[in-house]
C-alpha cells in the first residue's frame, strides 16, 4: 500500500534550547549554543568538562511528584516529548482505535545513567536503597512501553537501540507502518539521558568528545576545520505521524510529508566509519529511491554533522557522491552545535527540524562553522540561516557500529 501518504502533524522536542515547539523554534532562531560546563556531576577527572544539559526539565511537571520519584530521567523525557507532540498535533488520544496507533522509539543507552546512580545507592545502603522500579527502568524498551501504557495504545511497540541512528530509525519504522496500512498513527522518536559520570567518562576515554573546555559555546563545530570531537547532550523528541486522510479528516495542521527511508550498515568498525562513505551514501540513495524521486529534486540536507573529524569528512564525501554536479546547489546544515549530540534522540530532533524547515521555509545555520576543511563544494548554511522554499529534504543519522539511516521529507501539498 505504498500509495498511502504519511504526514507529520505533531512535533514534541525536549532539548537544551527549548521544550515544546514554540520554545524550540525560538531557540533555533536565537542561534545560541546551549553547551556549557557540566553541573550534574564532577567532570574534572575527564578530558572533557562540557555538555548540553537540560537545566530546566522538571519530571514532576509531566508526571506528578510521586511518579517522578519512581521513574528514571530517560523514561520521563520520553513521556514529556510524547505529551508535547500529542498536544502540538491536537490529537485526542482516545479518538483513534488503540490498535491502530504504533509507538516506535530509539535510544543508544536507555536507562544506563540511572542504573549508574542506583548502583551508588546500592553500595551505600544495600538492596533497600534501590528503587524497586530499577529493573523496569534501565532497559531501552521502557521508552515505548511507558508511552503505550500512558495512552493505552496497543499497536506495534518497540524501542531500537542502534546508537546515534536510533531516533531516525524509529521515525523510519513508524513511517513504514503507517504507509503499509498496519496503523493510521505512529508516535515515534528518541530519548536519551546519558549525563552520568561512568557513561560520560566512557566516551571521554576513547577521546571522542571535545576538550574545548575554555569556550564551551564554540566546542561543537560540525564540518569546521577546528573541530576536536562531539559534545554530549541530552533530550528527546517525538513526532506524530499520520496517514494523510486520517490527519485531514480531523483538520490537523501538517508540517511535512515523510516519503522515504533507507538504512545500511558499514560492517567495518565500532567507532570509525567505512572509508569513502559508501554505505552512508547508499542509505541516502535507498531513501531517495524509496521516495520515488530523483536526487536533482533536493534542496536541503540536514546532516548528521557530529563534529568529529572522521565522521564529518566521511559524511561530506557521501553527500557529494549522492548529489554530484548539483552539490553546490543543495543547502547543507548541521544543527548539533545548538543542543549537543543527544545520541539516540538526535535523529528524531533533526527530523523535527527538517519538517519545520519545510513548513516555515527557513533553514537553520551551522553554528560555529568558520572554515570548513572539506574538499567538496558543499553549500553550508551561514549565520542567520537561509530563507528558502524547499520541496524535498534529506535528514541523515549515523551511529557507532556503522549504522546509517536517512529520511526523505517533502513539503506538504494537498
Reported as a single tens digit per residue, the pLDDT across 223-245 is: 999 999 999 999 999 999 999 99
97 and 210 together in one domain: yes
Same-domain check for residues 99 and 230: yes
Residues in Cβ contact with 205 at an 8 Å cutoff, skipping those fewer than 6 apart? none
Is 75 within a domain? yes
**Residue-wise pLDDT tens digits, 12-64:** 999 999 999 999 999 999 999 999 999 999 999 999 999 999 999 999 999 89
Q: Examine the pLDDT at 1 and tell me if it is beyond 70.
A: no
Number of domains making up the chain: 2
Tell whether 74 and 211 lie within a shared domain: yes
Q: Which of 222, 249, 276 is the last residue of a domain?
A: 249
Give the integer Cα–Cα distance in Å for 392 and 382: 20
336 and 233 within one domain: no
With respect to residue 255, please indicate whether it lies within any of the assigned structural domains. Answer: no
277 and 344 assigned to the same domain? yes
- Residue 259 a catalytic site member: no
* 164 noted as active-site residue: yes
**Mean pLDDT along residues 323-339:** 97
Nearest CA among 225, 218, 231 for reference residue 306: 231
163 & 183 share domain: yes
What tens digit of pLDDT does each residue of 341-353 get?
999 999 999 999 9
Q: What are the residues facing 243 on neighbouring strands?
A: 6
Report the C-alpha gap between 410 and 303 in whole angstroms. Answer: 16
CA 256 to chain centre: 17
Say which CATH number the domain at 73 has.
3.40.47.10
Asked about 188 being catalytic, the answer comes back as no
pLDDT (mean) for 104-115: 95
Q: Do 382 and 333 have their domain in common?
A: yes
Query: For residue 119, what is the enclosing H or E element?
Result: helix 112-125
Q: Which domain holds residue 291?
A: 260-410
> Exposed e or buried b for every residue in 52-78, given b needs 16+ CB within 10 A?
bbbeebebeebbeeeebeebbbbbbbb
Q: At a CB cut-off of 8 Å and minimum separation 6, what does 364 contact?
A: 28, 31, 333, 335, 338, 353, 357, 381, 385
Asked whether residue 47 is assigned to any structural domain, the reply reads yes
- Mean pLDDT, the chain, rounded, equals 96
How many other CB atoms sit within 10 Å of the CB of residue 182? 15
- Which is the catalytic residue, given 49, 82, 246, 304? 304
pLDDT tens for 257-308 read 999 999 999 999 999 999 999 999 999 999 999 999 999 999 999 999 999 9
- Let me know whether 245 and 365 are in one domain: no
Domain membership of residue 11 (yes or no) is: yes
Q: What are the start-end ranges of the H helices in 207-366?
A: 244-249, 278-290, 309-323, 336-339, 346-360
pTM of the model: 0.97
Grid cell for residue 340 = 549537543
Query: Could you tell me if residue 2 is inside a domain?
Result: no
- Residue 49 has φ and ψ, to the nearest 5°, of -120, 15
pLDDT digits (tens, 9 = 90+) for 363-397: 999 999 999 999 999 999 999 999 999 999 999 99
> Rounded to an integer, what distance in angstroms lies between the CA atom of residue 236 and that of residue 74?
9
Could you give the maximum distance between any two Cα atoms of the chain, in Å?
64
One domain, residues 284 and 384: yes
pLDDT at 200: 96
Is 144 domain-assigned? yes
Looking at 220, 249, 278, the residue that finishes a domain is 249
Buried/exposed code over 355-365 (b: 16+ C-beta within 10 A; e: otherwise): bbbbbeebbbb
Entry field: residues in the chain? 414
In a domain, 254, yes or no: no
Could you tell me the pLDDT band of residue 67, with boundaries at 50, 70 and 90? confident
Task: Count CB-CB contacts under 10 A for residue 374.
Answer: 18
Q: Is residue 202 part of a domain?
A: yes
User: Of 82, 164, 220, 259, which one is the catalytic site residue?
Assistant: 164
Distance in angstroms (rounded) separating the CA atoms of residues 174 and 272: 28
Last residue of a domain, one of 215, 230, 249: 249
Is residue 92 domain-shared with residue 208, that is, in the same domain?
yes
Q: Does one domain contain both 370 and 285?
A: yes
In whole angstroms, give the CA distance from residue 371 to residue 374.
Answer: 9
The neighbour count for residue 124, using CB atoms within 10 Å, is: 8
At residue 9's C-alpha, the angle toward residues 4 and 15, to 5°, is: 130
Amino acid at each position: 500500500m505504498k500509495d498511502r501518504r504519511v504526514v507529520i502533524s505533531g512535533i514534541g522536542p525536549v532539548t537544551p534550547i527549548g521544550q515544546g515547539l514554540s520554545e524550540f523554534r525560538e531557540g533555533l532562531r536565537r542561534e545560541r549554543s546551549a553547551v556549557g560546563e557540566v553541573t550534574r556531576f564532577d567532570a574534572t577527572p575527564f578530558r572533557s568538562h562540557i555538555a548540553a544539559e537540560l537545566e530546566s526539565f522538571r519530571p514532576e511537571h509531566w508526571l506528578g511528584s510521586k511518579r517522578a520519584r519512581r521513574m528514571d530521567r530517560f523514561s520521563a523525557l520520553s513521556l514529556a516529548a510524547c505529551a508535547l507532540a500529542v498536544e502540538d498535533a491536537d490529537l485526542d488520544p482516545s479518538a483513534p482505535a488503540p490498535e491502530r496507533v504504533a509507538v516506535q522509539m530509539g535510544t543508544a543507552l536507555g536507562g544506563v545513567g540511572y542504573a549508574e546512580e542506583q548502583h551508588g545507592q546500592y553500595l551505600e545502603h544495600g538492596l533497600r536503597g534501590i528503587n524497586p522500579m530499577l529493573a523496569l527502568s534501565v532497559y531501552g524498551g521502557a521508552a515505548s512501553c511507558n508511552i503505550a501504557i500512558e495512552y493505552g495504545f496497543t499497536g506495534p511497540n518497540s524501542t531500537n537501540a542502534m546508537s546515534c541512528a536510533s531516533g531516525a530509525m524509529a521515525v523510519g519504522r513508524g513511517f513504514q507502518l503507517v504507509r503499509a496500512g498496519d496503523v493510521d498513527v505512529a508516535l515515534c522518536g528518541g530519548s536519551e539521558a546519558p549525563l552520568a559520570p561512568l557513561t560520560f567518562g566512557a566516551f571521554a576515554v576513547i577521546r571522542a568528545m571535545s576538550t574545548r573546555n575554555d569556550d564551551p559555546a564554540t566546542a561543537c563545530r560540525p564540518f569546521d576545520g577546528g573541530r576536536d570531537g562531539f559534545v554530549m547532550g541530552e533530550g528527546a523528541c517525538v513526532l506524530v505521524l499520520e496517514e494523510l486522510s486520517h490527519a485531514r479528516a480531523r483538520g490537523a495542521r501538517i508540517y511535512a510529508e515523510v516519503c522515504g527511508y533507507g538504512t545500511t550498515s558499514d560492517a567495518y568498525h565500532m567507532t570509525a566509519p567505512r572509508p569513502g562513505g559508501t554505505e552512508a551514501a547508499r542509505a541516502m540513495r535507498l531513501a531517495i529511491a524509496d521516495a520515488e524521486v530523483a536526487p536533482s529534486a533536493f534542496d536541503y540536507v540536514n546532516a548528521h554533522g557530529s563534529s568529529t573529524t572522521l565522521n564529518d569528512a566521511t559524511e561530506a564525501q557521501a553527500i557529494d557522491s549522492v548529489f554530484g554536479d548539483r552539490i553546490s546547489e543543495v543547502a547543507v546544515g548541521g544543527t548539533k552545535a545548538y543542543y549537543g549530540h543527544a545520541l539516540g534522540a538526535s535523529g528524531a530532533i533533526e527530523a523535527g527540524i527538517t519538517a519545520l524547515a519545510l513548513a516555515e521555509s527557513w533553514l537553520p545555520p551551522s553554528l560555529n562553522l568558520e572554515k570548513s576543511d572539506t574538499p567538496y563544494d558543499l553549500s553550508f548554511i551561514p549565520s542567520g540561516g537561509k530563507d528558502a522554499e524547499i520541496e524535498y529534504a534529506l535528514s541523515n543519522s549515523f551511529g557507532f557500529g556503522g549504522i546509517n539511516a536517512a529520511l526523505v521529507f517533502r513539503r506538504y501539498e494537498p
